Structure 1
């Protein structure tokens, strides 16, 4: 049966690289997009959200904050503005970031400040959602991307 090769990279590092993946579910700019082997080729914008990678009986979560995804029949490449594997998320730091963002929203001075604080709050909430789930039934053993 056909499988996918999946690579998720940022400007700083390879976040995930794995072969023989069954499915990728990504936060597309126009909604959630599921990719199976033999998918039609496409390039799409990504929104901030959870990108899920399914292989065998396991599933890995990665939080992405924008970027592009290129799909071919046997490969998915994500060029993310920023991305973190679920097990890399520091929940305490994400909670602190959420607190700072909420404080900025409450004390905003200008419209630009509100937009930045709202974006920061959304990122912190996504990191918290995924980071808090990281244990459980989703073993963090797939795709040992380098941290270089």
Structure 2
């Protein structure tokens, strides 16, 4: 059994990430986070919104992910994401501005649709800020 697992994250537009990692975690749509080590049982599952955490060369790293599907095998994980970013792709100022806008929209929401859209926007901005290591509001 290999000591590494190949992680590949793809969006419809491009490959976001590809590397050999020691371990990883990703959010599922309905079952919390899955932790994956080399030799994992094969599975396919829906991916939720959140952070993909992986360990490479003894250090933890993060990627954002916003829905999609994951295919897991004993030596690979392929995540086909609706959207995803590496930390260096995140514009922190833009994410913070989106957080402020979403919070204002939550206060001013006039219907369930407005409220749902504001909550999704707020969640996405907070995920981006968390990935970038920037606490919201700072």
Calculate the TM-score normalised by the size of structure 2.
Answer: 0.90
Does the aligned pair in 2 maintain the 1:26–1:50 contact within 8 Å? yes
CA distance 1:132–1:55, shift in 2 (3 Å): closer
Deviations 1:59-98 (A, max 9, x none): 2200111111100111100001110111211111111001
Query: Which residue of structure 2 aligns with residue 144 of structure 1?
Result: none
**Structure 2 stretches of 5 or more lacking a match?**
none
Pairwise CA RMSD: 1.2
Q: Would you identify which runs of 4 or more consecutive aligned residues in structure 1 move more than 2 Å?
A: none
Residue in 2 aligned with 1:145?
none
Structure 1 unmatched runs, 5+: 134-148
Q: What does residue 42 of structure 2 align with?
A: 41
Q: Separation in 2 of the partners of 1:59 and 1:103?
A: 33
Structure-2 separation of matches of 1:126 and 1:4 = 25
* Alignment partner, residue 81 of structure 2: 80
Q: Which residue of 1 is the match for residue 25 of structure 2? A: 25
In structure 1, distance between residues paired with 2:5 and 2:129: 29
User: Could you state the TM-score of these two structures normalised by the residue count of structure 1?
Assistant: 0.84
- Secondary structure class of the residue paired with 1:104: helix
Q: Give the whole-Å Cα distance in 2 for the aligned partners of 1:10 and 1:103.
A: 30
- SS of residue paired to 2:12: coil
Q: Is the 8 A contact 1:91 1:132 kept in 2?
A: no
Q: Tell me how far 1:23 sits from its aligned partner.
A: 0.7
